[in-house]
Amino acid sequence: MSEAATPGFGRPRIGVLSVQGAFAEHADLLTRVGAEPVDVRSPGDLEGLDAIVLPGGESTTLGLVAHESGLLDALRDLLAGGLPALGTCAGMIVLARETTGGAQPLLGGMDIVVRRNAFGRQRNSFETGLAVPAMGAEPVDAVFIRAPWIERAGAGVEVLAQYAGHGVAARQGDLMVTAFHPELSGERRFHEWLVTRARERREGAPERRQDRVRAQ
Ligand code: GLN
C-alpha cells in the first residue's frame, strides 16, 4: 500500500454532498488538487471526513432531501465542530443562516443572509472574469447559474468578491462560499484552499499530533 493510500496519510478525504445537483465535477476537481473525494448520500458517509463540499443544484430540494435522511443534522454537528466546508451556489444558500425568500431547510453555519436567483431573468446565467484578491492576482473565471448573492454579512464574515455591488464570495473561518461555480470553469483555487484546510485539520487532530511527537 502506498503512503497516499494509507489511512491517516496523504490525501485528505473530502466529502461531496451528492443527493442532488452538480456534484460529479467537484469530485473530479478534488481529485486533481490532491484530495480523495467521497460521495456523501447518508449520514454514515460522513465518517472520517476532513472537509465537505456542498455543490450547486436546487437549494430547496437539496435541503429537503438532506433533512429527510438525517444528513442536515449530522452535518450541522460536524460544522459546529469545525469541519471545513466549501459551498457553491445552492451550497452557499444551504450554508447561509437565512434567505430573503423565507423558510427552507438550511444548514446555516455562516453569518450571511442570501437572496436566491438574485441576478434576475436576463442574467440568469453568465460567465465573467471576477477579481478575488484573496485568491491571487489572476481573475477568477466565474460561471453564474441562477445564482444567489449575499444580501447581508455579519462582522465575522470576509466578503472576498463583489459583482454588481453584491457579495458573491465570502469566508468565515474555515467556511468558504461562492455564488458561482468554480468547478465548471476549471478554477482550482477554492478547492485548493479547502484541501489546505482539510490537511491542517487532519494534522491538528490529537492522534496525529501524538504521532508527530513520537516521531521526533
Ligand atoms: N437557483 C438555485 C437555488 O436557488 C441555485 C442554482 C445553482 O446552484 N446553480 O437553489
Say if residue 32's pLDDT is above 70. yes
Most confident of 22-26, 191-195, 211-215: 191-195
HSE-CB for 63 with a 13 A CA cutoff: 20
From the CB of 54, is ligand 1 less than 6 Å away?
no
- Distance in angstroms (rounded) separating the CA atoms of residues 134 and 78: 26
Q: What angle do CA 85, 89, 130 make, to 5 degrees?
A: 100
Is the Cβ–Cβ distance between 38 and 70 less than 8 Å?
no
Q: What is the pLDDT of residue 216?
A: 45
pLDDT single digits (tens) 133-170: 999 999 999 999 999 999 999 999 999 999 999 999 99
The whole-model pTM stands at 0.91
From the CB of 87, is ligand 1 less than 6 Å away?
no
From the CB of 145, is ligand 1 less than 6 Å away?
yes
Q: What is the pLDDT of residue 1?
A: 43
**Candidates 181, 187, 192, 207; catalytic one:** 181
From the CB of 94, is ligand 1 less than 6 Å away?
no
pLDDT single digits (tens) 39-62: 999 999 999 999 999 999 999 999
pLDDT single digits (tens) 81-98: 999 999 999 999 999 999
Is the Cβ–Cβ distance between 56 and 85 less than 8 Å?
no
Q: What angle do CA 154, 132, 187 make, to 5 degrees?
A: 115
CA-wise closest residue to 94 among 40, 30, 136: 40
Torsion, CA 46, CA 56, CA 185, CA 23, rounded to 10: 40
Tell me which of 122 and 81 has the higher pLDDT. Answer: 81
**Candidates 25, 36, 183, 187; catalytic one:** 183
Q: What is the pLDDT of residue 22?
A: 84
Say if residue 120's pLDDT is above 90. no
Is the Cβ–Cβ distance between 92 and 179 less than 8 Å?
yes
H or E segment and range at residue 77: helix 71-80
- Distance in angstroms (rounded) separating the CA atoms of residues 195 and 211: 21
User: Ligand 1 pocket check: which of 26, 53, 58, 62 to mutate, most ligand atoms within 8 Å of Cβ?
Assistant: 58
For residue 115, what is its C-alpha cell?
437572496
Q: What is the DSSP pairing of strand 51-54 with strand 13-17?
A: parallel
Distance of CA 39 to the CA centre of its chain: 14
Domains (ranges, CATH) in the chain?
Answer: 3-215 (3.40.50.880)
- Distance in angstroms (rounded) separating the CA atoms of residues 211 and 216: 9
CA-wise closest residue to 7 among 207, 215, 214, 216: 207
Average pLDDT over residues 196-208: 82
Helical H segments across 84-188, by residue range = 90-95
